Amino acid sequence: MTPPTSHEAGHGPTDRARLARALREARRAAGIGGIEAGRRAGISQSKVSKVERGLLVPTVSDVQALSEVYGLAAADRDHLCALAAGLREESSARVILSRGVANFQRRIGEMESSGSLVRSFQPVLVPGTLQTADYSRCVFRAAAPGVQLPEEEVEAAVTERLTRRARLGEDGTRHRIVVTEGALRWQACSARTMAEQTETLLSALSWPGVMLGLIPWSTPVRVFPGHGFHIYDEDAVIVGTETATATLTSAADLATYRDLFTALEGTARFGADARPHLERIAAEYRALDAEPDGQR
């Protein structure tokens, strides 16, 4: 649906909060619970919850379906659809790195803790929830070409990332994470940083609520993902680029990334099978760290 020109498209956190509040109040006024609202609208209850908390911007079709369930007047429905359309367009183009990475990390943490299953894949980077402080600091300081974050923003983002890590296994959310050996061979800042990071991944093999898989370089593959991604329940996929982060919620996109993750999982080594590979990588970084600078 193309929003009518008589309604201004939404933008910014204020309109995001307005949309979330309006849908929450409309559901309550209709006397319908979140589970029933999702069933009637054809979306999951967890997605209804995320939308009402402002963690996820709904699609225009989601807003149309919920408006019909709640019995909203056409003018109110069109207004909310216009807000959603503008917010989604803005979200897909917004440059996250230059507009508050700490706040973005906080929102991602809320997405994680409010769901039941998070599936993550990274080909060239250690996933955020498993990063050490030094590794995160190195990543945030690098930011993106042409972007240099203030040091206080870097430290705030590192703190939020470590908070996410501390919650692993405590909020009931299960994490299935696949990372390539190539990500660990991309030396972030120093051999010492990478040795400590790899040793943290070794510890993560036994963390409650976490299933960590490694795709060794020696494993033949027949799947070639071009970027990392995170799947939140059956509600959304978040894909990051150099300058922005896109949130995908269509059924077709979700199915594509679910199938891709299943293929990647089938290639990865988990648990005891992953341990010797991680131990080998950590030992090689420790040896590299011990070498005199002039011999590297």
Domains 12-93 and 101-295 share a fold: no
pTM of the complete model beyond 0.85: no
Separation of alpha carbons 231 and 116, rounded Å: 11
Domain boundaries, the chain: 12-93, 101-295
pLDDT tens track of the chain, all 296 residues?
A: 334 344 566 566 788 888 999 999 999 999 999 889 888 988 888 888 888 888 788 888 889 999 999 999 999 888 899 888 887 766 544 444 445 666 676 677 766 767 788 999 999 999 989 999 999 999 888 866 666 778 888 888 888 888 888 888 777 889 999 999 999 999 999 999 999 999 999 999 999 899 999 999 999 999 999 899 999 888 888 887 766 678 888 888 899 999 999 999 999 999 999 999 999 999 999 999 998 864 45
How many C-beta atoms surround the C-beta of residue 292 within 10 A? 6
CATH of domain 101-295: 3.30.870
User: Is-contact 126 179, C-beta < 8 A?
Assistant: yes
pLDDT for 170 equals: 75
Token output for 243: 């300058």
pLDDT for 248 equals: 83
Into which CATH architecture does domain 12-93 fall? Orthogonal Bundle (1.10)
E strand spans, the chain: 117-122, 174-180, 210-215, 229-232, 236-240, 245-248, 269-270
- Pairing relation of β-strands 210-215 and 269-270? antiparallel
- The CA distances from residue 33 to 14, 82, 215, 228, in Å, are 25, 25, 43, 35
pLDDT for 32 equals: 92
Separation of alpha carbons 136 and 178, rounded Å: 18
Amino acid letter for position 179:
V
